[in-house]
Amino acid sequence: MFNLNIKENKVFALPVLILFIVFLVSVVFLKPKLSEILEIRRDIKSEKNNLATLTQKLATLDGLAQVELNEKAFLTLNALPIEKDVAKNLFILKQLVQDSGLGLSNITIGNVGDISTASAQTKIEKGEVLPALVFSISVSGQMAEIGDFISRVNLTLPIMRINQIYLSNKKGDIPEITLDINSYFLPLPKTLSKVEDLVAVISPQEEKIFEKLTELKAFDLQEGFYYSGGQKDNPFVY
Amino acid sequence: MAEQEIDFLSEQQSKTGKKAKIVHFLKVGSIIVLILYCLLTAAVFSYWFYLNTQGRKTQQEISIKKQKIESLKDVESVQTFLKQRLAALDKFFTNQAKTDLPEILDFFENIKDEARLKQVNLTKEGEITISGEADNALVLTDFLKKLEEEDQSKKLFSTITLVSSDKQKTGNYLFSILLEVKGKQ
């Protein structure tokens, strides 16, 4: 028969007690702490990645020369206004016609109904990359002068392109020509990037575009010639 | 004859010695296990504490960096604005055909003679459609011949296609020609 001799088994009390303590501490303290450690490690890894991104972003932002950046932004704003700027385009087209020695007969704004603030939706015509304000301009003059006008349009800011040419050259008459001109614009980006997102980097290809823009002529609109009212304030102050 | 003796005590002493050894081993072993376990627990706790400190430190650094980035928000906005415009312009210029329109118009002016050009349509793909009117078939033929054979034409256009030629009641011809500009993108 099994006989439990407490006196004899007393020697096992200490190991059993220690085992019990080990078990108890493992369940109550060690296991939750190990789980917590794994979780904290995951969090720290993710936070360190986040920190690396922020450090890189900060370094990029610190490296950007604000004055140069503003100048570039101003030039691109001249190339692509944030909204349809009828007054400015009319002034420029009129000026270009005069400079080419042509006679101006008529200017029609094609999509006048769509003139709106930057917040309004803009439509991009089929085959186009950018939204455009369409002008139809009738001029009279010699072919060489018309050619000169077209060259000037292509070399002027904002970016304009000729889509169609209607010729009316009766015998003996001074040629009269009607040109459909697209003047491009681009609304402001709808959202800015999140703090965690990296700064948009200008690629070498895009730098070349900037160089191209510096070669184009920007009109210096003097007071009285150009008025742009009733529009939202430009958030980019130069 | 020598007297034989049985030593019962020796065996009992031996048994007691073994038991004492086991008891001693259990005691010492248990204490060693306890010490090692305490060390392990302390290590785990220290590591947990270290990770918490690291986590707080990283969060503080993130917070400082975010504040600095926030203070440079204007620069970032201008950069985003610039990127948006340059990317759009890059796409625009890439999409544009390299058409020297003044030179082409000048060329038409030189060869047209009696033919009257009425409309010039340009496409982004670098195609030009011209339409016009000629008083008779001879004038139209002469214009087409010049358009095809002139050296400048060969420099400017890769293909020339007569799309339509309709004789009117008056005897005039309305024509439409499709020209594919060389070096288009």
Look at residue B15 and tell me whether its pLDDT is greater than 50.
yes
Do A59 and A85 share a domain, yes or no? no
Check B118 against A168: CB less than 8 A apart. Answer: yes
Is A40 close to B52, i.e. CB distance below 8 A? Answer: yes
Give dist(CA B7, CA B20) in Å, integer.
Answer: 21
- In this model, does residue A206 exceed pLDDT 90? no
Residue of B nearest to A238 (CA): B78
Note whether residue A73 is domain-resident. Answer: no
Instruction: Please give the pLDDT value at position A120.
Output: 52
For residues A48 and A88, membership in a common domain is answered with no
Q: Which domain holds residue A34?
A: 10-63
Q: Categorize the per-residue pLDDT at A3 as very low, low, confident or very high, splitting at 50, 70 and 90.
A: low
- Tell which phi-psi region holds residue A98, choosing left (phi > 0), alpha (psi between -120 and 50) or beta: alpha
For helices A66-79 and B73-95, the axis angle rounded to 10 degrees is 40
pLDDT of residue A65: 80
The answer to whether position A70 is within a domain reads no
What pLDDT is attached to residue B109?
A: 76
- Say yes or no: A84 and A59 in one domain: no
Go through B97-129 and write b for each residue having 16 or more CB atoms within 10 A of its CB, e for each that does not: bebbbbebbebbbebbeebbbbebbbbbebbbb
Segment A175-201 shows an average pLDDT of 80
SS3 content of chain A, % helix, strand, coil (to 5): 45, 15, 35
pLDDT at B10: 67
Q: What is the percent of chain A where pLDDT is above 70? A: 77
**Per-residue pLDDT tens over the stretch A25-34:** 889 888 999 9
* Confidence tier at A237 by pLDDT (50, 70, 90): very low
Q: List the single residue in A with minimal CA-CA distance to B113.
A: A171
**In-domain check, residue A208:** yes
Q: What pLDDT score was predicted for residue A163?
A: 81
CATH architecture of B101-181: 2-Layer Sandwich (3.30)
Same domain, A124 and A162: yes
Structure tokens that stand for B31 in this block: 């204490």
Contacts of B105 in chain A (CB under 8 A): 143, 146-147, 150, 165
Q: Are residues A97 and A143 in the same domain?
A: yes
Same domain, A97 and A43: no
Domain for residue A72, yes or no?
no
Assess whether A94 and A212 both reside in one domain. yes
Task: Assign residue A80 a region (left: φ > 0; alpha: ψ between -120 and 50; beta: otherwise).
Answer: beta
Nearest one of B113, B163, B118, B110 to B140, comparing CA atoms = B113
For residue A22, the number of C-alpha atoms closer than 13 Å in the C-beta half-sphere is: 17
| Amino acid at position B137, single letter | A
Confidence band for A37, pLDDT divided at 50, 70 and 90: very high
Residue A95's pLDDT is 85
Q: Are strands A160-168 and B127-134 parallel, antiparallel or unpaired?
A: unpaired
pTM: 0.70
ipTM: 0.73
CATH number at residue A108: 3.30.70.60
Mean pLDDT of B59-85: 88
Q: What is the pLDDT of residue A221?
A: 65
A188 near B CB under 8 A:
yes
Does residue A134 sit in the same domain as residue A175?
A: yes
Give dist(CA A76, CA A99) in Å, integer.
24
- Domain assignment present for A204: yes
Asked if residue A236 belongs to a domain, the reply is no
Query: In this structure, are A116 and A22 located in the same domain?
Result: no
pLDDT at A44: 93
- Same-domain pairing of A123 and A150: yes
| Residue among A12, A54, A129 whose CB faces B91 most closely | A129
pLDDT of amino acid A42:
94
pLDDT given at position B185:
44
Cβ atoms of B173 and B137 within 8 Å: the answer is: yes
**Structural domain count, chain A:** 2
What does the domain layout of chain B look like in residue ranges?
A: 10-95, 101-181
* Cis, peptide link before residue A158, omega less than 30° from 0: yes
Judged against a pLDDT cut of 50, whether residue A119 lies above it is answered with no
In a domain, A237, yes or no: no
CA distance A225 to chain B (A): 26
